[in-house]
Structure 1
Amino acid sequence: MTRPGLRLTGAAGIVVALIFAGLVDGVVPFAPFVSDAQAKVGRPLTPGSVAGVTRRTTRRVIRRSTIYVTRLPAACVKTTINGTVLWHCGSTYYQPYGGRYVVVHIQ
């Protein structure tokens, strides 16, 4: 099939064998094996993606300080973190507590 001293292995050997056997007329380099894209959108290949699990299980910790105020500063926005209602005023968070507001730190 091949000249003495010349050995083809792997895919090249298989292609040469098919050509000499008359099963294949020729080889088109880089011919597509699949005509359509075979991808599924939405789920990762691995069911327990490390990045996804890390994002879903990361929880914020809300720690109360000893600073209390009776009224909130102007332009505060009501928000919810981990099911706790907080008021976000600038860079400070306040939590309603017994008719007043306590300054909380989010970590």
Structure 2
Amino acid sequence: MYADGTLTVSVDITNIGSRTGTEVVQLYVHDVAARLVRPDKELKGFAKVELEPGATTTVTFTIDRQALSYYDPAVPGWIAEPGEFHVLIGRSAADIRLRAGFRLLADQE
């Protein structure tokens, strides 16, 4: 993550068909070693793009610490647990096309 607490994820989408098409690009996050049970894939953003045949566009998502937070009843409150995360890009949760990893640092790091 950047010093301002955000992460920017960009992906190029190309229409390889012969007709204008629409695609929904979805961004999911997976906490690799969460202390509490969390969903395997948490939807954090999506974008609908329309492309002419052969056209390419870049879809960009920005996520912040708040997007990585979850409610911890032991605190009680919202926390962003430091550690390893995966960002997943796909057409749906069942159709992931790209994966990358990143590390969320503790507030004082």
Question: Shorter-chain TM-score: what band?
Answer: under 0.3
TM-score by length of 2: 0.22
Structure 1 length-normalised TM: 0.22
Structure with the bigger percentage of strand? 2
Larger of the two Rg values belongs to structure: 1
Q: Higher relative contact order by CA 8 Å / sep ≥ 6: 1 or 2?
A: 2
